[in-house]
Amino acid sequence: MKKNRMPILLLLIDNLIWVILVVVVALFSIFNSRYLTEPNLVDILVTASVLGILVVGQTFVLITGNFDLSAEGVVGLSAGIAVWLQGAAGQPTFGSGWHVNVVFAFVALFAVGAATGTINGFLITKVKMNNFIVTLAMMIVLEGMLPALSTGSTMSGAPASFNWLGTATIGTFPICGIVLIITFVGAHLVLKHRPFGRDLYAIGGNPQAAFASGINPNRRVYQAYIISGILAAFAGLILEGQVQSVPADLGNGMIFMVFAAAVIGGISLQGGRGNIIGAFGGVLLLAAITDGLNLLAVDVYFTSIIEGLIILAAVFLDTQKTRLHRIVEGKRAIQALHDAAMAAGEAVAIPPL
Amino acid sequence: MSVQTADSAVVMRGIVKTFSGVRALDHVDLEVRTGEIHGLVGKNGAGKSTLVSILSGFYPPNEGEITCGGKTVSAVGPDQAKGLGIAIVPQQVHVVSGLSIAENVFCGELPLTRLGFVDWRRIRREAMEQLALINIDIDIDRTVESLSVSERQMIDIARAFSRDAHVIILDEPTASLPKDEVKMLFGFVREMCKRGVSFIYISHFLEEVFELCDRVTVLRNSRVVGHFDVSELDVRRLVQLISGQDIARFGRKRREAHERPILEIEDVTRPGAYEKVSFTVHAGEIVGLSGLEGSGKSELVRGLFGLQPMGEGAVRVDGRPYRAKAPEEALAQGVAYLPRDRYGLGIVPVRSVAENVGLCVLRKVTNRLGFISRKVERPLVEGYVDMLQIKISNLDQELQFLSGGNQQKVVFAKLAATKPQVLLLEEPTQGVDIQAKEEILRIVVSMAGDGVAVVVVSDVIDELLDICDRILVMHRGVMVAEFDPDDQGTSGADIMLAIEGNLAPR
């Protein structure tokens, strides 16, 4: 009873994402010998870094059973405001910024993320507005604010210190890859090993039971949105560093990949289920696919079609995973009952009264 | 075996229904005559709901047959009930609240014009005719939202009537009705009887059974105790039939005296729920709290725990003034609560046993860096799993895969881990198997043995008599009686009478 013995089948089912990742990498490396080389693997990691950090932030919100669509809006606007404040080239609406110190630019960048999370959290937990619509509207607003600020032009000219996270390497290893790994490890520790993370899971699994167990679901959901906002701003910082500029549509459309990676990685959209390590697998898988198709010089339109189909296939496998899990767990539960020689049956099916 | 006579509306014979090996109905017979109001009474879990669920086609019986409208079937299919003329008006009335009354009368089978559009003129005309036929004077264009509960029920009955139902089942129709609306509903039901409709009337309010019903069938422990003309019964006799005679005692050795008051409640009032309730629970004492639905017993414990507003009044826990605006505050002050609705409030089904047990005390098992220490958490959880004999394959097993009894024990473990001074339990044995029931009662007794002040809110009088030191009864928000289970004069029937609001002369 106390030993935690997982049958091999269950172990494979639970780690399906890594099995798929290995298969996909193997396939690409058969088609293109350059796929499994160091420069390309670094490319994959760079692609994964921005997506991955957004997925971490989104995971905090998804686990509570909520959505944060506004994250992709934060990516562009936070980077845009920070670059503009430092005196951007291009044709910004309000002149070329205030030429502020880079430290202040960092503060402003994260403040945009935190403020967005705070507004989301307030409208959702206090005003009780629907989380999907609130964050959708917020996304639309933010994505309008960036071109309003930049007059639709591409802003650039941030100092190297601001772009450092997106561009620097140690040897050939990109700093953003290290940042990605640190973010995932940190999120894993918080979600799995801190009361805060356990609270989020409980809220997503059953908010009323969480409340009755002494958790304040509103406060926690609020906090999850702020975390998501701040991490989205962080992703914006890295993306700006990678492209060395802020186009008027920076970040637009990324949220679909974020959701895809999280769901492929086993994060339940109903909340309460899924772990950050699986989500990391989902991020790597999507980055590996994007990079592979790029390397094979697949036409950009077909890339989109193929990515969509692969996401469908992965999520299909995931539903099968849940089904298999139920079967195996059910068998084990029955076995446990037999082991305990439970003579008496169950009366749970009888409705009250 | 009686043969269906010409004046039988429906006959159920030898109905057996088992759920995973437990008999919910054991060779139950029921005959409802044309134009009669037939009461169906029994304690919670006696089988009333299961019986009418079978009759209305929710699930098939394992054995037995049903004769209705000249046809004999072994089971009423899900779509057959309507064809047989059987309809059920459930406690939560199935009306679509945004739609008009006319639409609701026809909901599900709107008549269409030849072009396939909804025939509104016909709907309005016929709805008006239907309502006129049964003497309901309500504007059919009002939305259902604007109606009172009894009006909604009458609309539901009208809807059943419009579909030629001749047997209508009323499941606790008056549970949430004010008195004047009960009168209105009863008048309406009698009127429908004159038109040849038969009713099966389920209620916990026995005085209503005497007021309304012609005959009554009593169920106890999944069996029929008997069929009676209401005129041959009185309340006392009916209560005896419902509760049964023999009461098996748990054989708990009670302490001579409980000295230290832990939970002190003084004149606690929440208008509409309870009024000037006062009682004290001492360390190690188990106090039962019973009453009808709406008597205020559930509202009181939920108010104490901070799930609902508690209202006015003074409460002290171990001498300290106590007040909780949320469960968080209640737990912090040593008050724990086991909800009646295990799936809704008790467990997080998709999370593990370990996480569920630890849910309330997470913050107390962290190390200096604020992380949950596995070295503290695992032994804590394992300790409770062993102590409460929770049957699981491993600590990471999701709660949804456990049996009801084991889930309930997990909730107990979660509460026990908080080391509460006061334990408020609502229907602790509901929905668990017989063996687990006994184990859960033992857990309650042993927690009291550790000096916890326990309040058990329950409808199961036998269990209260078994484990409680005192049993309090509430009726319509007021504390009306107190019983001592050790007193030879105390019987389940007396308590049932008090619950009904009829105080036995003592």
Instruction: Select from B24, B347, B366 the Cβ nearest to the Cβ of A195.
Output: B366
Specify whether the CB–CB gap between A345 and B22 falls below 8 A. yes
Sort out which chain A residues have CB atoms less than 8 A from B49's CB and list them.
350-353
Per-residue pLDDT of B186-215, as tens digits, reads 888 888 888 888 999 998 778 788 889 999
How far is residue B424's CA from residue B409's CA, in Å, rounded to a whole number?
Answer: 15
Low-confidence ranges of chain A (pLDDT < 50): 1-4, 337-353
Does residue B505 surpass a pLDDT of 60?
no
Of the candidates B20, B21, B22, B2, the one whose C-alpha atom is nearest the C-alpha of residue B12 is: B2
B394/A3 CB distance under 8 A: yes
Q: Is residue A102 part of a domain?
A: yes
Weakest mean pLDDT among B269-273, B385-389, B396-400, B485-489: B485-489
Instruction: Select from A212, A268, A330 the Cβ nearest to the Cβ of B307.
Output: A212
How far is residue A193's CA from residue A184's CA, in Å, rounded to a whole number?
Answer: 13
Write the DSSP symbol of residue B313. E
Instruction: Select from A208, A272, A329 the Cβ nearest to the Cβ of B345.
Output: A208
CATH number of the domain to which A315 belongs: 1.10.3470
**Choosing among B23, B242, B359, which should be mutated to test the A contact, i.e. which has the most A CBs within 10 A?**
B359
B19/A342 CB distance under 8 A: no
A340 touches chain B (CB under 8 A): yes
The predicted structure's pLDDT at residue A329: 64
A323 touches chain B (CB under 8 A): no
The predicted structure's pLDDT at residue A69: 97
B431/A343 CB distance under 8 A: no
How far is residue A231's CA from residue A229's CA, in Å, rounded to a whole number?
Answer: 6
Of the candidates A163, A20, A182, the one whose C-alpha atom is nearest the C-alpha of residue A88 is: A163
Instruction: Select from B307, B349, B436 the Cβ nearest to the Cβ of A205.
Output: B349
A3 touches chain B (CB under 8 A): yes
- Minimal CA separation from A217 to chain B, in Å: 11
A:266-305 residues touching chain B, CB 8 A cutoff: 268, 272-273
Q: Find the mean pLDDT for residues B27-55.
A: 87
Minimum Cα–Cα distance from A331: chain B residue: B401
The predicted structure's pLDDT at residue A341: 33
E strands, B43-155, are 63-68, 71-73, 86-89
More confident residue, B116 or B418: B418
More confident residue, A56 or B70: A56
* Cβ neighbours of B390 (radius 10 Å): 24
Chain-centroid distance, C-alpha A291: 18
Specify whether the CB–CB gap between B242 and B66 falls below 8 A. no
How far is residue B64's CA from residue A331's CA, in Å, rounded to a whole number?
Answer: 32
A198 touches chain B (CB under 8 A): yes
How far is residue A113's CA from residue B253's CA, in Å, rounded to a whole number?
Answer: 63
Instruction: Select from A198, A273, A330 the Cβ nearest to the Cβ of B401.
Output: A330
Instruction: Select from A4, A214, A333 the Cβ nearest to the Cβ of B360.
Output: A214
B434/A350 CB distance under 8 A: no
Q: Is the dihedral of CA A171, A288, A278, A112 positive or negative?
A: positive
Q: Is residue A6 part of a domain?
A: no
Residue ranges, comma separated, of all CATH 3.40.50.300 domains in chain B are: 1-85+166-244, 261-500
- Minimal CA separation from B238 to chain A, in Å: 18
In CATH, which of 3.40.50.10540, 3.40.50.300, 3.40.720.10, 3.40.630.30 is domain B1-85+166-244? 3.40.50.300
Question: For residue B338, what is the enclosing H or E element?
Answer: strand B335-338
Per-residue pLDDT of B349-381, as tens digits, reads 999 999 999 999 988 888 888 899 888 889 999
Minimum Cα–Cα distance from A341: chain B residue: B391
The per-residue pLDDT of chain B, averaged, comes to 84
- Minimal CA separation from B398 to chain A, in Å: 9
ipTM (interface pTM):
0.84
Write the DSSP symbol of residue B504. P
Weakest mean pLDDT among B157-166, B271-280, B385-394: B157-166
A301: its two tokens: 């339109």
B401/A343 CB distance under 8 A: no
A347/B363 CB distance under 8 A: no
A198/B337 CB distance under 8 A: no
Per-residue pLDDT of B276-309, as tens digits, reads 999 999 999 999 999 988 899 999 999 999 999 9
B431/A213 CB distance under 8 A: no
A215 touches chain B (CB under 8 A): yes
Task: Tell me what percent of the residues of chain B surpass a pLDDT of 70.
Answer: 90
The predicted structure's pLDDT at residue A201: 96
Q: Is the dihedral of CA A199, A204, A209, A215 positive or negative?
A: positive
Instruction: Select from A216, A335, A336 the Cβ nearest to the Cβ of B328.
Output: A216
Q: Considering its fold, how many domains does chain A have in total?
A: 1
What domain range includes position A238? Answer: 17-330
How far is residue A15's CA from residue A43's CA, in Å, rounded to a whole number?
Answer: 25
More confident residue, B261 or B293: B261
Weakest mean pLDDT among A119-123, A267-271, B37-41, B120-124: B120-124
Per-residue pLDDT of B450-489, as tens digits, reads 899 999 999 888 888 888 999 999 998 999 999 988 777 7
Rounded CA Rg of chain B: 25
A346/B21 CB distance under 8 A: yes
Chain-centroid distance, C-alpha B9: 28
pLDDT confidence bin for B434, thresholds 50/70/90: low
B473: its two tokens: 């009864």
H helices present in A152-216, as ranges: 160-167, 175-193, 195-205, 207-212
B327/A193 CB distance under 8 A: no
B355/A198 CB distance under 8 A: yes
Q: Find the mean pLDDT for residues B28-56.
A: 87
Of the candidates A63, A96, A72, the one whose C-alpha atom is nearest the C-alpha of residue A275 is: A63
B351/A348 CB distance under 8 A: no
How far is residue B294's CA from residue B500's CA, in Å, rounded to a whole number?
Answer: 12
In this prediction the pTM is: 0.75
B382/A4 CB distance under 8 A: no
How does strand B8-19 pair with strand B63-68? Answer: antiparallel
Q: Is residue A296 part of a domain?
A: yes
Residue type, A306: I
A333/B22 CB distance under 8 A: no
Question: Which 3 state secondary structure label does DSSP give A51?
Answer: helix
Instruction: Select from B339, B366, B372 the Cβ nearest to the Cβ of A212.
Output: B339
Of the candidates B199, B200, B97, the one whose C-alpha atom is nearest the C-alpha of residue B144 is: B97
Q: Which residues of A120-147 are buried (b: 16+ CB within 10 A; e: fewer)?
A: bbebbbeeeeebeebbbebbeebbebbb
B48/A333 CB distance under 8 A: no
Task: Tell me what percent of the residues of chain B surpass a pLDDT of 90.
Answer: 35
Please provide the CATH number assigned to the domain covering B261-500.
3.40.50.300
How does strand B22-33 pair with strand A173-174? Answer: unpaired
Q: Find the mean pLDDT for residues B162-171.
A: 83
Q: Find the mean pLDDT for residues B68-89.
A: 80
B345/A212 CB distance under 8 A: yes
Chain-centroid distance, C-alpha B93: 16
